[in-house]
Amino acid sequence: MFSTGQWYFALFFVIVFIATMIYVYRKDLKELKSQYRGIYWILFGFLLFIGLLFFIKFYLKD
């Protein structure tokens, strides 16, 4: 299956990858807050649209 070295490499890679993602996210957090104001309205509209499609689907079902 996998050798011990491959398991160590995979574990090391996952740990470093997650740590890097956390570091980059925290670094960009202030900028993200200013750029994505009002994003919840977009999410609300999208979910409302999906709900409307399901309502129409079940309402028009024979």
Question: What pTM value is reported for the model?
Answer: 0.52
pLDDT of residue 62: 61
Sign of CA dihedral 36, 38, 40, 46: negative
pLDDT digits (tens, 9 = 90+) for 13-61: 999 999 999 999 988 887 887 787 888 899 999 999 999 999 999 988 8
pLDDT of residue 35: 80
pLDDT of residue 39: 85
User: Greatest CA separation found in the chain?
Assistant: 60
Q: Which residue has the higher pLDDT, 37 or 7?
A: 7
Which DSSP symbol is given to 39?
A: H
